[in-house]
Amino acid sequence: MHFEFNVEGGNFSKAGTASSQLKKILKQLNVDPKVIKRVVVALYEAEVNIVAHAFNGIIYIDIDTEKIEIKLIDEGPGIADIELAMQQGYSTASPEVREMGFGAGMGLPNIKNNTDELKVTSEVGKGTTVEMITYLSS
C-alpha cells in the first residue's frame, strides 16, 4: 500500500493530517496498537517539523506485511548540524512557532525513540529528507 501527502509549511491548522490518516489506515489493517502509537508519534513529529521549518514537503508512506516505511522530503532551510539537531532540547524554531507550543527541540529525538530505523539527510538552503522504518513485529 502506498500513500502520499502534501504538507504546507506554516499551516499549523493542517499539521497532523497525514498522521491522523495513517492511524485510521493502520487500525483498519489491525496493526498492533503499540506499533500504531509509535508510528503515529514519529510521523506527527516529522510532519510538524515540515510545517514549522520548511516551505513545503511531501510524505510518502509504504506499508507491507513486515514494515511501515515513511519518507518525508521538504524544501526548506535544511539542517546545518544533524547531530546537534538530534539532541533533546535543541531547536531552531522561531519565537512565533514556540508561542504556538511547538519547537521544544523534542521532534527528532521523539522520532528516533519511536522508529526502528531512522536516517536524516539535509542540505543547507535546499531541504531535509527523513526516512523512517517501523517493523510490524518485534
Q: In CATH, what number is assigned to the domain containing residue 108? A: 3.30.565.10
- What lies within 8 Å, CB to CB, of 1 at 6+ separation is 25, 62, 63, 64
What is the rounded distance in angstroms from the CA atom of residue 36 to the CA atom of residue 124?
32
What is the percent of the chain with per-residue pLDDT over 70, rounded to a whole number? Answer: 99
Q: What is the mean pLDDT of residues 35-39?
A: 97
For the chain, the domain total comes to 1
> What's the burial of 113, exposed, middle or buried (CB within 10 Å: 0-12/13-18/19+)?
middle
Q: Which domain holds residue 98?
A: 2-135
The tens digit of pLDDT for each residue in 70-129 reads 999 999 999 999 999 999 998 888 888 888 888 888 899 999 999 999 999 999 999 999
> What's the burial of 28, exposed, middle or buried (CB within 10 Å: 0-12/13-18/19+)?
exposed
Helix (H, G, I), strand (E, B) or coil at 56: strand
pTM: 0.94
Q: What confidence tier does 138 reach under pLDDT thresholds 50, 70, 90?
A: low
